[in-house]
Structure 1
Amino acid sequence: MNLLVIRFSSAGDILLTSLFLRSLRKRFPDASIHFLTKQEFLPLVAHSPYLDRVITINSSDRRKELSQRKRTLIRELGGKYDVAYDLHNSLRSRWFRAGIAQRVEVVRKPSLRKRLLVWFKWNRLRPIVPIPELYLRVGSRDGLANDGQGLELFIGETSNPLPPLRGNPTVGFAPGARHQTKRWPPEQWIALGRLLREHHQARIVLLGAPEESNLCQLIADGIRNGISNGISNGIDGDSHAETGPLNLAGETTWLQTAAALDGCDLVVTNDSAIAHLAAARKRTVVAIFGPTVQEFGFAPYGTRMAVAEVPGLPCRPCTTIGGNRCPKGHFRCMIGLQPHHVAEIIEKLKAMAG
């Protein structure tokens, strides 16, 4: 039996397919399972023991290149796939799956219900269905079941880029996000970092993409020097370089970031891919949600976690994916989330035993 799973992007969504892939392998242990994704996300599935092959396309590929890819796959298989599972359901995935399998199963996204919540605040997304479980429904006809083991990311022999530290808890900060409104302000991160330094002597590790390196360095410097637009908790600089903030943003691959997360006792992150990366490595996660809400299904899954948010704002959610600026101009969903509130959530999780 030949099976094809399709999910082109993005990083977080690729990670959220891991429950589906594990369940598919358990259901069909002798099948040949292929995964189709974009080349840039190959590392996230390259070491999966549930896959026999990962097929990649380039973001720039046009229909001609994709047609050639389809013909090559069918020729190599000696026929069509038995089943194709489309976990993306985009224009590109719909075109690619056409004619490539005897049977096609497709994810049913709650796009209309999301828009109703954004536009009119009509909540038709209860009970919340986490995205990994939404994907799992695609295989319901084939008897795929939830084993309760959450997400996974296999990193092979990737080494941990963090220098060892004994005695002090390590906290990962992921202050970046693709969209500006999903970013908690830098001064809030700085104040939280200094609270964790003061009360737990925590080492703060900044994680993110290359384009987030400057943001992470700003936060690292602010934690170290006590500069946070007037926010200070009384610590005058870092007296121990070993436990000072460490900026790894832009210095690590996806798998190295995952390895660094393994060295963290706790991860604080915006609603971004690193939230799912941390969940896949079974870290304790505090996820900061501003313009988006848990009803969309993207809270960290299958790990100890909490969502930090400002409850009761009538303008939330204002978007399904984030934006470049607050449509109301006040950004209360992020500015109103105070560092001491996030610190209280961390205390309740009891993740700072060190």
Structure 2
Amino acid sequence: MHKEKVLIIKLGYSETLDGEIGKITSLGDVLRSTVLLHLYKNAHVTWLVDEKAFPLLKGNPFIRRILSYDLSSVLQLQSERFDTVINLEKVPGLCAFSDSLNAWRRYGFRFDPENGVALAYDGSQHVLEICMDPEYKKKTRKFWEETLFEMVGAKWQGEGCILGYQTKSSTAFDIGFNYDVGKKWPNKAWPMEYWKELERLIGNKYTVSWQQGLKNIEEYFEWISSCNLFITNDSLGLHIAGALNKKIIALFGPTMASEIYVPNGIKLLPTIDYPCIPCLSPRCKQSTLCMHYIEPNVVYDMIEKVVTGSVSPA
């Protein structure tokens, strides 16, 4: 019996719903894209990815083959035939590569040979509009996963991303502080002095663990697994915690909270009335970053509500 042969091109060089193309691999965008695997559980799926994101896909039961992006894998894929190719990268060279492959159907982004830029296949044009027009993006108010499913002609029904790594850690800490946001969006970070103040407010009431595994992704998986309640900025850790079904308190400012699906989670936003929130930019124009307007006592009160069960994560 023939199994549908599917190729997903998602390296992390460009964020699927963001117009910017950078040199920093977006690990969170790669992990979130695994939600598509719910549609191809019975298919033969190959995933082309940047080697930095390889551990996020390793062990995934719905990926038959993971290929790191290099000349060898490019030449190999150009010699194969696929039923479906899904290109989630807007890098023009990757779009041209995707277009060169032998495939029956295509979704996502394609190459414009006249202008040398990325375009969209039928059904994905609105995704490019979301990428290129921040105001349009704010008005759509759809979950990221919902838009991704629309790109391939499917309807999202609350599915989450799939992490292949099987953690071994049992719960050891009441609360985990996921404070790091990486270099790409420094203004997503809740101020370090606020984390320290929150720790002071908690005192000895709950056990607290500060982020571990900053240099080893598997240690990071295990640390997240060891925390019962996860407090986090909008970052890779948020999506890993969601995949591990952790209770989450997520702190949002410059990015769109309405776009992020947080299963089993609560979202907290700044109380300041900046007209630019969310600015959708890694560079802030305000004298005081909006993340300074999520007070530690507000986060502490939410911890109490989640722990006592007076408010339940959605």
TM range (shorter): 0.7 to 0.9
Q: Which residue of 2 aligns with 1:220?
A: none
1:250 aligns with 214
1:349 match = 306
Instruction: State the match for 2:227 in structure 1.
Output: 264
Runs of 4+ in 1 over 6 A off after TM superposition: none
* Contact 2:78–2:100 under 8 Å retained in 1: no
RMSD: 2.6
Are 2:42 and 1:38 aligned? Answer: no
Match of 2:116 in 1: none
Q: Is the 8 A contact 1:128 1:294 kept in 2?
A: no
> What are the ranges of 5 or more consecutive residues in structure 1 without an aligned counterpart?
59-64, 208-247
Give the equivalent residue in structure 1 for 2:191.
185
Listed as ranges, the matches of 1:205-244 within 5 Å are 205-207=209-211
* Amino acid in the other structure paired with 2:86: Y
Structure 1 residue aligned with 2:279: 318
> 1:274 matched to which residue of 2?
237
Kept after mapping to 2: 8 A contact 1:3/1:82: yes
- Using a 3 Å threshold, how does the CA distance of structure 1 residues 125 and 270 change in structure 2: closer, same or farther? same
Give identity over the alignment, percent: 22
For residue 177 of structure 2, give the secondary structure of its aligned residue in structure 1. Answer: strand
Other-structure match for 2:8: 5
**1:57 is the counterpart of 2:57:** no
Please, which of 267, 283, 296 is the counterpart of residue 246 of structure 2?
283
The aligned counterpart of 2:165 is: 155
Does 2:264 correspond to 1:304?
yes
1:149–1:330: structure 2 CA closer, same or farther, 3 Å change rule? closer
Residue in structure 2 matched with residue 232 of structure 1 by the alignment: none
State the Cα distance separating 1:327 from its structure 2 match. 1.3
Q: Write the deviation string for residues 169-193 of structure 1: whole angstroms up to 9, x where unpaired.
A: 5211111112221111111000112
Q: In the aligned structure 2, how far is the partner of 1:113 from the partner of 1:93?
A: 20
What residue number does 1:128 align with?
141
> 1:18 — aligned with what?
34
- Between the aligned partners of 1:70 and 1:181, the Cα distance in structure 2 is 36
Residue pair 1:36, 1:55 contacting (<8 A) in 2 also: yes
**Structure 2 counterpart of 1:240:** none
Equivalent AA in structure 2 for residue 2 of structure 1 = K
1:271: Cα distance to partner? 1.1
Describe the SS at the equivalent of 1:95: helix
d(CA) in 1 for partners of 2:264, 2:46: 31
Matching residue's letter, 1:350: V
Moved more, 1-10 or 108-117: 108-117
Query: How far is 1:35 from its partner?
Result: 0.6
Kept in 1: contact 2:213–2:219 (CA 8 A): no
Cα shift at 1:274? 0.7
Distance 1:23 1:102, change over 3 A: closer
Tell me which amino acid in the other structure corresponds to 1:16: R
C-alpha separation between the residues in 1 aligned to 2:240 and 2:132?
A: 27
Structure-2-length-normalised TM-score: 0.78
Q: 1:138: how far off? A: 2.4
SS in 2 for 1:51: coil
Distance in 2 between the 1:103 and 1:84 partners?
A: 6
Q: How many Å apart are 1:11 and its aligned residue? A: 1.0
Structure-2 separation of matches of 1:70 and 1:19: 24
Equivalent residue pairs, number: 275
Deviation at 1:112, TM superposition (A): 4.4
| 1:91 partner amino acid | P
| Structure ID, larger Rg | 1
Contact map agreement 2:234 2:252 (CA 8 A) in 1: yes
> Going by fraction, where is strand more abundant, 1 or 2?
2
Query: 1:195 corresponds to which letter in structure 2?
Result: L
Which residue matches 2:91? 90
TM-aligned CA deviation for residue 330 of structure 1: 2.1
Separation of aligned partners in 2, 1:15 and 1:280: 9
CA distance in 1, matches of 2:142, 2:53: 25
Opposite residue 94 of structure 1, the aligned amino acid is: C
Counterpart secondary structure, 1:125 = helix
TM-score by length of 1: 0.70
Query: What CA deviation, in whole Å up to 9, does each residue of 1:293-321 have, x standing for no partner?
Result: 224x2x243x211121114321312334x
1:197 aligns with 203
Contact 2:45 2:64 in 1 (8 A): yes
